[in-house]
Amino acid sequence: MSLLSVARKDFEDAIRSRWLIGLTVLFVVLFAGTAYLFRPMEGETLEANVILSLFGQLFVGTLVPLIGLVIGYNAISGERESGSLKLLLALPHSRIDVVFGKVLGRAAALGGAILVGFVLPAIVLAIGPLEFDPLAYVGYTLLVVVFAAVFVSIGVGFSAAASTQRRALAGAIGLYFLFVPLWNAATGGFLLLFAQFPDWFPLERAQEVAELANPSTAFQLVTDGFLAGQLFAGETAGLQVSAAAMLIVWLLAPPLLGALKFQREDL
């Protein structure tokens, strides 16, 4: 119950965040605009899933990580600097409760915003010459909620490990640029070092692992399979299972590691 108490309070604080409101509005406008612009001409039909996949590649993979990290980076470090963290820990809450409670509360706030934000685009997609599958749309929306929770978890975990809010912000910015625009370049450059290894070195397998280690790539693999009607099936079934496992790792490992470091520090 202590963890849920922290989560409830953090949820109420997070839904009043201007960052969350502003970025969610931007998310809705971009999604609804994409759905409207890519609607087919009269007499033609197009699956709405194609537009969902396009939107995921253009915006979900860039905006959702940003929103999640922005919401999470000051979860612990911000309260540490303001002094309110001491008051929170004076109550019967352990530090583990605080870290995971904040993950749960902020992920729920962002997830709720995403669910609301997908309503208007659903109306745009459902009207007109589109083959709209409401179950696929709901399923995709829930996958985006999970994806958002992953980056909230990463942000809160980093916030718990950082000693100051400035370091947490710098870490969040660094993680965003690493995962979104720079991952392929960073991992590609690293793997080039192994290109001269003998034939026994599993270079292709290493490239696959490097791609899956990025939560954005893992999310894209799972959603592509889902929208194609082949979730955990077909030729990419093994990759999808590995991608889903990687998302679970990213959901649990950052706050756990951050909490372990947080446990050893004096406030």
Q: Give residue 128's pLDDT.
A: 64
Q: Give residue 155's pLDDT.
A: 93
- Residue 131: strand pairing partners: 47
Beta strands in 57-200 (DSSP E): 130-131
pLDDT band at residue 210 using 50, 70 and 90 as cut-offs: confident
Computed from CA positions of residues 2, 96, 142, 233, in that sequence, does the dihedral angle turn out positive or negative? negative
Q: Is the pLDDT of residue 1 over 60?
A: no
Q: Give residue 43's pLDDT.
A: 57
- 8 A C-beta contact, residue 37 and residue 134: no
Least confident of 19-23, 135-139, 232-236: 19-23
Please indicate whether residue 1 or residue 187 has the higher confidence score (pLDDT): 187
pLDDT band at residue 57 using 50, 70 and 90 as cut-offs: confident
Nearest CA-CA partner of 136 in 148, 147, 122, 117: 122
d(CA 22, CA 74): 17
Looking at residues 79-83, what average pLDDT do you find?
81
Least confident of 72-76, 79-83, 151-155: 79-83
Can you read off the two tokens belonging to residue 206? 């290493």
Q: Is the pLDDT of residue 79 over 60?
A: yes
Helix (H, G, I), strand (E, B) or coil at 262: helix
Q: Is the pLDDT of residue 154 over 70?
A: yes
Beta strands in the chain (DSSP E): 46-47, 130-131
* The model's pTM: 0.89
Residue 191, CA atoms < 13 Å, CB-side half-sphere: 17
Domain that holds residue 153: 3-264
The domain tally of the chain equals 1
Mean pLDDT of the chain: 83
Q: Is the pLDDT of residue 189 over 80?
A: no
Q: Is the pLDDT of residue 204 over 70?
A: no
Can you read off the two tokens belonging to residue 145? 């909620």
